[in-house]
Amino acid sequence: MADGWAASARTCFPSPLAACLSGRQGLLALLRKLKSNPDKELRILLLGLDNSGKTTMLKYLASEDISHITPTQGFNIKSVQSAGFKLNVWDIGGQRKIRPYWKNYFDNTDLLIYVIDSSDKNRLEETGEELRELLEEEKLAGVPVMVALTGEGVQDGIEWVIKSCNSKGKKK
């Protein structure tokens, strides 16, 4: 997974959405739009299934070595100073047994980044269900959500996200 995120973060994608999701610059542009006070510390919550690339993304944002990543048991927190922003990034484990505890981290969240391993085709339905549940959470109402795609099938993942979002809107 480390190689997939690093490669994605350095690659220029054909889609504006993919470019937005590809690394620190896209994240900082989004944060500038969110907050008019750049001195405020922003709390970012990284969620997604296990092995989706959350910890790799966290370490990448913190400019740390991403060559050795171990599964998160519980959570990791990093404070990152970048382009005048202080980011307090929370990486919460994505194992099935940990997911019920995600709600304990929703308070005071300024941005939710949901990470999807687009190369894990067998789990797209599962990750979509988890994302739908998060989007329905009252505590996250009004919190911007950024979907970050990792893995080799990023373009396929973008198409899946767009299709899923469109189909959800049609059900109502």
11: phi then psi, degrees, rounded to nearest 5: -95, 145
In the DSSP assignment, the letter for residue 163 is H
| C-alpha torsion sign, points 112, 11, 79, 53 | positive
Catalytic residue among 25, 73, 81, 95: 95
Ligand-binding site membership of 54 (annotated): yes
Alpha-carbon span 82 to 63, nearest angstrom: 10
- Residue 53, annotated ligand binder? yes
36 is in an annotated binding site: no
95 in catalytic set: yes
- The Cα–Cα gap between 134 and 164 comes to 14
Question: For the chain, what percentages of helix, strand and coil (3-state, to nearest 5) are there?
Answer: 45, 20, 35
50 known member of a binding site: yes
Contact 75, 88 (CB under 8 A): no
Binding residues for GTP: 48-55, 94
Looking at the annotation, which residues are catalytic?
Answer: 95
